[in-house]
Amino acid sequence: MPTALSISRIHEKLLTDRHITLDLLRADRLHPLISGNKWYKLKYNIARAQTEQVDRLLSFGGPYSNHLHALAYAGQLAGLKTTGIVRGEKVYNKTLADCERWGMQLHFISRAEYRQKDQTDFITRLSTHYPGHYIIPEGGNNESGIKGCGEMLVGIDLQQYEQIVCAVGTGATLSGLINASPEQIPITGFAVLKNGAYLTETVKNNTRRQNWTINSDYHFGGFGKRNNRVLQFMHDFNTAHQIELDFVYTAKMMCGLYDLIEKNNWKNTRILAIHTGGVQGNRSL
Ligand SMILES: *Cc1c(COP(=O)(O)O)cnc(C)c1O
C-alpha cells in the first residue's frame, strides 16, 4: 500500500459558481488490478490470520463482488489460500475468472442460504465444513476492516477540508473514515442500497463520534440497481475528467453530491470525496 493516496482536483463550472473546491481521493488508483477500500479492509484481517497461523481465508460476496476480487488477489500475495462463497447459482464472469486465476476456490450457494451468512449457526456450520479457515464477513465489515479503512486518509492534509463524502455499503468504510478524521470535519455517507436505515445503527456501534450523517436519497433503486440518470452521469463524468466511476457505489455518491450542490447545499465548502474504487464491477454492464 502506498504511503498516501493521490488526489484529483475536479474542475467544473457548477463547482466554481458555488465557490466549492472538490478533491477526489483516488483509492481507485491504488493498484492496476485491485482497487479501492476493499484492499484496506483486508490489511488487518490478513495480519490477524497470519498471527493466528491460519493459512486459509474465507469470505462471501455476489458474482461481481469487489471484496472477493480483492481477497483472491491479496490472499495470493500473502501466500494464503482463499475460499469465496458466492451468492446464487453457478455463473462464469470476468470477476470470478480473476478470482479463480488468483487461486480462489469458489462455492456457490442459493440466495436463501446466503441470506443467513451473518447468523451464528450458519457460521458455525461453515467453520465445520471449512475447518482451519479465517472467516471474514461480507464486504470485510469487521473491526479489522474498519481500522484499515481509516488508513485511506493517512498522509492527507485534512485541515484543508470542511466536508468529507463517501459511498456506504456495509458502513465499514464510513466508520473507519469517521474514526480517522478530525472531529470538526463533517462526513456524509451516501447509502447505495434501499432501506438503509439500519446503517445508522451499525455505524453508531462502530464510532463514538457524532460528526456524520447518512443520506439515503440516492440509491437509484437499490443495491446493484441503476437507471439512465446514474449511467449518464458516470459517462459524462468520465468524458469530462477521464475518471471512471463504478455504477454500484461511487457514481451514486457523486451523482448525489452534484445534485445536492445544484440544490445549493455546501456553497463555499472545500470537499473531499473518496473514490473507493470498484471499477472492475463495471464489467457486468
Ligand atoms: C464495498 C464498496 C463500498 C462500500 O464500502 P462499505 O465499507 O461496505 O460501506 C464503496 N465503494 C466501493 C467501490 C466498494 O467496492
DSSP, collapsed to helix, strand or coil, labels residue 191 as strand
Residue 228 has pLDDT above 70, yes or no: yes
The residue among 149, 151, 150 whose CA lies nearest residue 139 is 149
Residue 200 has pLDDT above 80, yes or no: yes
Query: Inter-axis angle of helices 250-262 and 228-241, to 10 degrees?
Result: 90
How far does residue 43's CA lie from ligand 1's centre (Å)?
Answer: 15
Q: Residue 117 has what pLDDT?
A: 85
DSSP, collapsed to helix, strand or coil, labels residue 15 as helix
How far does residue 278's CA lie from ligand 1's centre (Å)?
Answer: 8
Mean pLDDT, the chain, rounded, equals 95
If one compares 31 and 93, the residue with the highest pLDDT of the two is: 93
Q: Residue 19 has what pLDDT?
A: 98
Give percent above pLDDT 70 in the chain.
99
| CA 148/CA 45 separation, integer angstroms | 9
Residues with CB under 6 A from ligand 1: 36-38, 66, 139, 141, 167-174, 246, 249-250, 276-278
User: Half-sphere exposure (CA, 13 Å, Cβ side) for 97?
Assistant: 7
The long-range contacts involving 105-114, CB below 8 angstroms and separated by at least 24 positions, are: 105/81, 107/83, 109/85, 111/87, 114/60, 114/85, 114/87, 114/88
| DSSP at 40 | H
Give, for ligand 1, the residue of 35, 38, 44, 173 to mutate: max count of ligand atoms closer than 8 Å to Cβ. 173
Tell me the longest C-alpha to C-alpha distance in the chain: 60
Residue pointed to by grid coordinates 475528467: 241
CB atoms inside a 10 Å sphere around CB 183 = 9
| CA 149/CA 256 separation, integer angstroms | 22
Give, for ligand 1, the residue of 60, 152, 165, 170 to mutate: max count of ligand atoms closer than 8 Å to Cβ. 170
Q: Residue 224 has what pLDDT?
A: 94
CA torsion 177→144→141→256, rounded to 10°? 10
The residue among 205, 52, 209 whose CA lies nearest residue 143 is 205
Q: Which whole number is the average pLDDT over 107-119?
A: 92
Q: Which whole number is the average pLDDT over 189-203?
A: 93
Type and span of the H or E element at 79: none
| CA 145/CA 136 separation, integer angstroms | 9
Which atom from ligand 1 is nearest to the alpha carbon of 170? Answer: 8
Which atom from ligand 1 is nearest to the alpha carbon of 145? Answer: 7
Q: Residue 34 has what pLDDT?
A: 83
pLDDT confidence tier of residue 178, bands split at 50, 70 and 90: very high
Q: Residue 2 has what pLDDT?
A: 67
- Convert the pLDDT of each residue in 7-56 to its tens digit: 999 999 999 999 999 999 999 999 888 889 999 999 999 999 999 999 99
| CA 11/CA 58 separation, integer angstroms | 42
CA-derived radius of gyration, the chain: 19
Write a three-state SS string for 216-263: CCCCCCCCCCCCHHHHHHHHHHHHHHCCCCCCCCHHHHHHHHHHHHHC
Q: Residue 32 has what pLDDT?
A: 80
Query: Inter-axis angle of helices 143-150 and 37-51, to 10 degrees?
Result: 130
Q: Residue 153 has what pLDDT?
A: 97
Pull the grid cell for residue 34: 485491485
The residue among 98, 99, 17, 80 whose CA lies nearest residue 267 is 17
